[in-house]
Amino acid sequence: MLVLGGGPAGTWAAVSAAERGARVVLADKGFCGTSGSTAAAGTGVWYVDPTPTDREASMASREKLGGYLQDRRWMVRTLDLTFQQSNRLAEWGYPYPVDDHGKSQRNSLQGPEYMRLMRKRTKQAGVTVLDHSPALELLLDEAGAVAGASGLRRQKQDRWTVRAKAVVIATGGCAFLSKTLGSNVLTGDGYLMAAEAGAEFSSMEFSNPYAISPAFGSVTKTLFYGWANFTYEDGSWCCIQRRSFRDCPSPASGGRSMRGSTRPTRTSSCTCGPRNRISSCPSTAPESIRSRIVFRLRCDWKAPCVAPAAFASSTRPAQPPSPGSMPPEMRRRAN
């Protein structure tokens, strides 16, 4: 078997196949264990104890966040595998932190330690690792099925070719322009090779490696915006809900929030909405602003910020439907 990519997906696939008796070659465009977005940062893990009540509550919460678009069969499988593999990491020596009661906390992983361990386990499983060896094309057999790949060995200045009965593409997404830590190598190579070989793509609309970020920043993570203020293009304040409803300017206070911080506001008809989300546009704003709001961060450190476009409705966004209000077919799927 040939695995393209040396991140979490690639190394787990290689280890699992090798443990089942397959001969495995893993090719990474960088150094397996250090390249990619996971190795440069941390990652959250959906680790839930396998008790029926805990699992049900966790899946119900994710369904609500995802607009009830999930397939529970995949959710169950993901929970089972995550629980199993996280426990294996502990057996292999991953240094999980413990709480005040001595219980291991396994809901997150530190990228450097995690991927260093995965490289070690990949080598111990007998996998042949080709570092600094980007794949350039998939090889097809006479019937048009994928039968291997070829690429470059950058450090040796020559080419490599591997014929295989199975090829796993685990090269990451296409996010090199996002400036997210470690994403400089995520250039969509696997997508391109798969498309050239005639592969069909699905669920691509759920991939979102890009997000709003300060123009000076190098990380496109949105947690920071829980402490940011937003303005319309004309400089007037957008009403947002930050830590609580009390953070929003109160119309009755003339723009002063219930916490006492004075903020300018163009109109008293602005409605507070979900955290960091515009829910209505001031009725006194120009039509061009009401129909298409361009907002920017007004950062506490007075730095320049990017201004991505956003569309806002004049009414509060609709809330996800409750299972009781969903069509019978979707309700059965959610349950």
What distances in angstroms separate CA 206 from CA 35, 50, 170, one per listed residue?
24, 27, 17
Evaluate whether 18 touches 125 at the Cβ level (below 8 Å). Answer: yes
Q: Where is pLDDT greater, at 143 or 260? A: 143
Q: Is 323 helix (H, G, I), strand (E, B) or coil?
A: helix
Q: What is the pTM of this model?
A: 0.67
Evaluate whether 10 touches 168 at the Cβ level (below 8 Å). Answer: yes
* pLDDT for residue 296: 36
Evaluate whether 108 touches 45 at the Cβ level (below 8 Å). Answer: yes
- CATH topology (fold) of 2-45+107-206: FAD/NAD(P)-binding domain (3.50.50)
Q: What is the DSSP pairing of strand 135-140 with strand 146-153? A: antiparallel
Overall average pLDDT of the 105-132 stretch: 96
- Strands, sheet with 135-140, edge to edge from the N-terminal-most edge strand: 135-140, 146-153, 158-163
Q: Where is pLDDT greater, at 52 or 320? A: 52
**pLDDT grade for 321, boundaries at 50, 70 and 90:** very low
Q: What share of residues in the chain are helix, strand, coil (percent, to 5)? A: 30, 20, 50
**pLDDT grade for 206, boundaries at 50, 70 and 90:** confident
Q: Tell me the pLDDT tens digit for each residue of 163-192.
A: 999 999 999 988 887 777 778 888 999 999
**Residue 308 pLDDT > 70, yes or no?**
no
- Distance from the Cα of residue 282 to its chain's centroid: 33
Which candidate, 282, 296, 289, places its Cα nearest to that of 311? 289
**pLDDT grade for 216, boundaries at 50, 70 and 90:** low
Task: Show the tokens assigned to 300.
Answer: 């506490």
CATH code 3.50.50.60 region(s) in the chain: 2-45+107-206
* pLDDT for residue 288: 38
